[in-house]
Chains A and B, each alone.
Chain A
Amino acid sequence: KQEVTQIPAALSVPEGENLVLNCSFTDSAIYNLKWFRQDPGKGLTSLLLIQSSQREQTSGRLNASLDKSSGRSTLYIAASQPGDSATYLCAVNIGNQFYFGTGTSLTVIP
């Protein structure tokens, strides 16, 4: 079974800092990997999708990278803002299944 791990579980940074969130997975035969944002008690907001043939995707201040061989993905957030405070989830798609990490709870301190 695919295991998806996100470390750290929680992270606090001062406003303006650049930061990196990590996602690791055990089976490299993935179709794609997706990063989501979730605000407390709310649904999942899609951030970036990386297909297995891609190395990275960028959207605004966000950049996601994928290294299948090492089973890792990172989400880079530039110039963090208090509005970035949320839980960030990664999910990998392998075969017919999607596997989710438990998330990193990010707090950006004004």
Chain B
Amino acid sequence: DADVTQTPRNRITKTGKRIMLECSQTKGHDRMYWYRQDPGLGLRLIYYSFDVKDINKGEISDGYSVSRQAQAKFSLSLESAIPNQTALYFCATSDFEPAAANYNEQFFGPGTRLTVL
């Protein structure tokens, strides 16, 4: 979805480096998510946030941290990158409005391919 952007799109880094992945959205959604995708494992939830003051751990939060700087921005950090964090990372948004026709539908950014050497 063009309304959800991720930077950088590709990143190669070395073990032990600190990395930040950024996500921005213009959909006006309150809810934002970070996932990682590994071959054969599908998408797994790292962290999610339902508003600026709400941060929740997902299935695989160890080794990651997040910051919700504003409604439109949600950043994922790897404090000390390790090779098994090499993956495709996706940001997503959703708007939990039960009155809407497609409430709680998720919209995804284009992904960030991260390689940790």
Q: Which of B64-85 contact A (CB under 8 A)?
A: none
| Residue in B1, B102, B111 whose CB lies within 8 Å of A51 | B102
Interface size class of A (residues with CB under 8 A): 20 to 34
Quick one: closest B residue to A1, CB to CB? B59
- Hey, which chain B residues are within 8 Å of A44, CB to CB? 90, 108, 111
Across the interface, do B48 and A41 meet the contact criterion of CB distance under 8 Å?
Answer: no
Contact with B along A18-54 (1 / 0, CB 8 A): 0000000000000110101000011110100101000
A93 at the interface (CB under 8 A from B): yes
- B108–A43 contact, CB under 8 A? yes
Residues of the B chain whose Cβ atoms lie less than 8 Å from the Cβ of A91:
43, 106
Interface-centre pick from A43, A46, A51, A103 (highest chain B CB count, 10 A): A43
Residues on A with beta carbons closer than 8 Å to the beta carbon of B88: 41
| B40 contact from A34, A51, A102, Cβ within 8 A | A102
Residues of B within 8 A of A (CB): 1, 33, 40-45, 48, 50, 56, 88, 90, 92, 101-111, 113
